[in-house]
A and B are shown apart, each in its own frame.
Chain A
């Protein structure tokens, strides 16, 4: 029924009919979008115990409507991007409002109000100062890259000048990272056996408003940014207690303050980038709360270079260094495998275009020598026409331990495909 009404709305908004209207009335609004089918099949032959869909990690049909408009001067603008989709694995129809904001610009200020996607930092899939929510389930189940980012319901104010650019995002409504669901993925969950589990998100109160700040300008050929954030970890921490005798798990999003910097410029016949950040975990200052991440430093260096015509490579090195490691080890309950003090990651991305860029071959490979795990995502995409494109790829995980980020996903290797029609 919801789908039927959605289709009615679509029929009314169809760009063909609107286009004619537009010419007549000069409506400052355009409507575009796409229809997309996504499917992803687990190749390990195993089904998660809480299984939904058996071998299918993903099976969906998606309709995107993208409405954008601006006043003639461009000083007022709006953007709405929303998906209606049928999840064939769970057999339900749902919606996903990706972005919806109105904006205003003056000579030096841009103000945006509403749901928006914000992306900061210089890393490729390694995030330090991009503290905005991610959808890892989408990413690992083979949806296109754009679904990795989730919108935040925010007020965003930007100031631009030659001397300094300022970007402030204030978010009263907390959005967590979307982590792979145990219904579709094999995951490490040490508390799976605990019957009583609770989860708390930060309520929308003034003092819980997240504030993210970026200051940036060009300096000595570098694009230099400074960042700050006050808010919450987007992956939950957990407290275990025994309220009435039985063990009880309470998951919550611990408070977090970060600050950092990045710099990027042309160097060594390519692009060189550096990023660093400090994560202060306010709910675990001395590192003794085992269910809350300790404070940490994060650093990243990357180098992108064109190796040949239409072939580009990006190399990244990344590390997280934990504070209060001794306290962490002491507070870790018996039976838990300890993380290392330093978590290192290396990655390579290769992108090759062929046939007038109608074919794109890419591979992203990340390995952690400290966690002893790896992740690879090879993909082939092809533009059949200006409107129709297809992609086939795979998510491949391997790891020595089931407790690490990629290692826990080892039984979730999947092959995905998508077909997209733009209008």
Chain B
């Protein structure tokens, strides 16, 4: 009898489950992609190397430690970024309190004069430390700022992907973006940004991904990524090393105190 009920229940709901998977809206796909890309784990630490390479191959390198913590419940996040290289910005640190629906709170610490300052965070499309990534590319763009449509489903290499088009609702530095979202890991494997003339402007590629384990969970992670400005030929290659999740970074790491005296334990 019990078996029959269970069977009946499964029979009743199975199509729904399948249906639900097939019928993910574009916003749901992007929501999962953002969760997988920008906020896996309760917290994260990594050492990040950014190579800024111009069309002639001339390279500049930025090395920083990145700490992130998701606040419980909501989509609020805190970031601490500490620069190791180059020399003229060594020990410079950023603290970002990111909110889903209002401007971030951002502070910078300038070691030469031991000064902590709040900085204007209005334009999230500004370049992050001179790279091809914007602040928003680093910490995520508000999903509600764009309208999303699933254009098609296709394979990118071996990975089955949704191809989602996102169109900004208000004027932005791109007119539309195409994202290839991996159906298994939910990571964006490729993004194309088009300019106001609808010409391809920037291309993001996830060049190396790996599943990183922490406390019994695994988090698919992009370890190497590139953002290329196809119009200027300039590109930025970013490598994440020593990535760990759920390491228990205390909330007080994301305060002014850390700007003045970086938390050695987490940035070494």
Contact = CB atoms under 8 A, between A and B. Distances in A.
28 contacts: A70-B264, A72-B268, A74-B264, A74-B265, A77-B261, A77-B264, A110-B257, A119-B115, A122-B117, A149-B114, A221-B105, A266-B105, A266-B120, A270-B122, A271-B120, A304-B120, A306-B123, A310-B126, A356-B52, A357-B127, A358-B130, A383-B60, A383-B88, A386-B85, A386-B86, A387-B87, A422-B86, A422-B88
A305 B120 contact: yes
Interface in A120-165: 122, 144-146, 148-149, 158, 160, 162, 165
B112 A116 contact: no
B113 A117 contact: yes
Interface in A57-87: 70-74, 77
B112 A389 contact: no
A312 interface: yes
A309 interface: yes
A356 B112 contact: no
B118 to A, nearest CB: 5
Contacts of B130: 353, 356-358
A266 B121 contact: yes
A356 B131 contact: yes
A357 B120 contact: no
A157 B252 CA distance: 18
A216 B107 CA distance: 15
Interface centre among B60, B87, B130, B173 (most CB of A within 10 A): B87
Closest 7 CB pairs of A and B: A74-B264, A422-B87, A357-B130, A146-B112, A386-B86, A119-B115, A356-B130
Nearest to B119: A271
Counting chain B residues whose Cβ lies within 8 A of the other chain, the interface size class is 35 or more
B255 to A, nearest CB: 7
B176 to A, nearest CB: 19
Contacts of B87: 32, 34, 386-387, 422-423
A160 B251 CA distance: 12
A385 interface: yes
A269 interface: yes
Given A74-B265, A165-B257, A264 B118 contact: yes
Contact of A158 (B119, B173, B257): B257
A310 B234 CA distance: 17
Interface string A100-112: 0001010000100
Contacts of B102: 266
Given A162-B252, A271-B120, A357 B129 contact: yes
A320 B180 CA distance: 59
A305 B114 contact: no
B127 A110 contact: no
Interface of B: 52, 54, 60-61, 85-88, 90, 102-103, 105, 112-115, 117-123, 125-127, 129-131, 173, 234, 252, 255-257, 260-261, 263-265, 268
Nearest to A381: B88
A160 B252 contact: yes
Contacts of A149: 113-114
Given A162-B252, A305-B120, A145 B112 contact: yes
Name, among B90, B173, B256, the residue most crowded by chain A CB atoms within 10 Å (CB to CB).
B256
Contacts of A71: 264
A309 B105 contact: no
A308 B171 CA distance: 13
A119 B114 contact: yes
Nearest to A99: B114
A31 to B, nearest CB: 12
B117 to A, nearest CB: 8
B256 A165 contact: yes
